[in-house]
Amino acid sequence: MGRSEELFQEAVNYMPGGVNSPVRSFGAVGGIPRFITKADGAYLWDEDGCRYLDFIGSWGPMLLGHNHPKIREAVVEACGRGLSYGASTKIEVDMARLLCEMVPSVEMVRMVNSGTEAVMSAVRVARGYTGRDKVIKFDGCYHGHSDGLLVKAGSGVMTQGEPGSAGVPKGCTQDTLTAPYNSLDSAKAHFMREGSKIAAVVVEPVAANMGVVLPQPGFLQGLRQLCTQYGAVLIFDEVITGFRLGTAGAQGLFGVEPDLTTFGKIIGAGMPVGAYGGKRCIMERVAPLGSVYQAGTLSGNPVAMAAGFAQLGILKQRPEIYDMLKANGDYFFGRLEKVVRKAGLPYQVNHIGSLGCLFFTGTKVVDYESAGTSDTDAYARYCRHMLGQGIYLAPAQFEAVFLSAAHTKEQLDGALAAAESYFLAG
């Protein structure tokens, strides 16, 4: 028995499922979760000394790769001055200014400690601002684990039924309206029925929690138009796409401006950070300025801000990183598609920039229903094979493949060769 296995056997005694977040348990693919001891660049090492080429990147934050020297130095330097003060610091101002500079639709921002908190708070502000209660979300989009948004919430909770989790009272989801991703008509129907009650539309501008699903042309623009027409707040949940698809995220790429945006993952560079921000007139409703209450003991923590500020600073200074990430993404996912075609398989590769996924289905994947046609057992076999070859993919079909700036062409070719030998061997 290896060290990871020993640790996992011990872990299950003390933590539900042996983990602190469900997908880490490998429940969807089988096998033993690897216990990680260190990470550097595009690699992870586990307790048994095995090295893996990492395609998860801590689920998105590690855009520049693991253990980036500039980010590490910023964190170490910040640690030397104490871990938290519960008082204002210069780095919070620097971070807020940088965010507002990089994302033009964001005029004011509030830092929180996770993506969940960011979206939960943004929805509260939208409700406070409009004086309305209802929120439209799209099937298969994940917006964190707050009660009201755990309805058809993708990846970890890809089960049927509303609410999508036990312990969520019906009352908490009664104001959550759902629509299929990419179905502008469904969103329009909600607005036509009760437009005056709808506070917000919340959407992942590129869905990345049911695998990766791209917005069809006109979808985001149409949502923008509906929200403007009915006086609802358009919230882009850019917890994954923010600073991954460009310095101004998906909104910059698609040229659609939301009223509020939520961030997480990359803005913390591996530290627990989230943020929400947007139009000044809406953000001015947040306490202490306004009557929408939202607070956090560790929000804007100086060590976390140091990490995030260092990462965003590098991205702002070197926007050519995004050209490189896009080129690598186009190469990797394009080649992956060729590999499955060569093996005579009809599988779908969806990708945009450094974000993508392979669906084990012959059906074009455009929403939650079509994502659900994927053969998850086939994915599990593939995932276990790749792990055996030292390639660390998400231990679940409905998660994304995340490339980082640390991945080299040689490393990508290595992963493609492992995939090719698997699929060609049938």
Ligand X SMILES: *Cc1c(COP(=O)(O)O)cnc(C)c1O
Minimal distance, residue 241 CB to ligand X, in Å: 8
Secondary structure class of 23 (helix, strand, coil): helix
Binding mask 219-258 for ligand X (x = CB under 6 A): ------------------x-xx------------------
The active-site residue out of 43, 52, 129, 142 is 142
3-state DSSP assignment of residue 273: coil
Hey, what are 86's tokens? 């519960």
Contact, 141 vs 209, CB < 8 A?
A: yes
Q: Give min distance, CB of 291 to ligand X, in A.
A: 25
Question: Is residue 204 involved in binding ligand X (CB under 6 A)?
Answer: yes
How long a stretch of residues is the chain? 426
- Per the listing, tokens 């089988």 go with 30
Q: Does 121 bind ligand X (CB under 6 A)?
A: no
142 is catalytic: yes
Residue 116 binds ligand X, judged by CB under 6 A: yes
| Structural contact between residues 416 and 386, judged by C-beta atoms closer than 8 angstroms | no
Alpha-carbon distance 149 to 124, whole Å? Answer: 12
**DSSP letters of 309-372?**
HHHHHHHHH-THHHHHHHHHHHHHHHHHHHHHHHTT---EEEEETTEEEEESSSS---SHHHHT
CB of 237 vs ligand X, minimal distance in Å: 5
Known catalytic residue at 265 = yes
Q: Strand, coil or helix: what is 390? A: coil
Question: Which candidate in 265, 322, 368, 392 is catalytic?
Answer: 265
Residue 142 is a binding residue for ligand X (CB under 6 A): yes
Shortest Cβ 250–ligand X spacing (Å): 11
Binding-site size, ligand X (CB under 6 A): 14
Nearer to ligand X, 165 or 389 (CB): 165
Alpha carbons 203 and 136: distance in angstroms, whole number = 8
Largest CA distance in the chain: 63
Residue nearest ligand X (C-beta atom): 115
Nearer to ligand X, 222 or 264 (CB): 264
Q: How far is the CB of 209 from ligand X (least distance, A)?
A: 5
Strand 233-237 to 198-203 pairing: parallel
* 322 labelled catalytic: no
- Comparing CB distances to ligand X, the nearer of 11 and 153 is 153
Torsion sign (Cα): 19, 21, 25, 27: positive
Name the packing angle between helices 219-230 and 184-194 (round to 10°). Answer: 10
Taking contact as CB under 6 A, which single stretch among the options 25-33, 35-43, 140-148, 372-380 is the one that binds ligand X?
Answer: 140-148
The one segment of 4-12, 111-119, 193-201, 305-313 that binds ligand X by CB under 6 A? 111-119
- The yes or no reply on residue 399 touching ligand X (CB under 6 A) is no
Instruction: Output the smallest distance, CB 13 to ligand X, in A.
Output: 25
Q: Which residues bind ligand X (CB under 6 A)?
A: 114-116, 119, 142-144, 204, 209, 237, 239-240, 264, 274
For the annotated catalytic residues, the residue numbers are 142, 237, 265
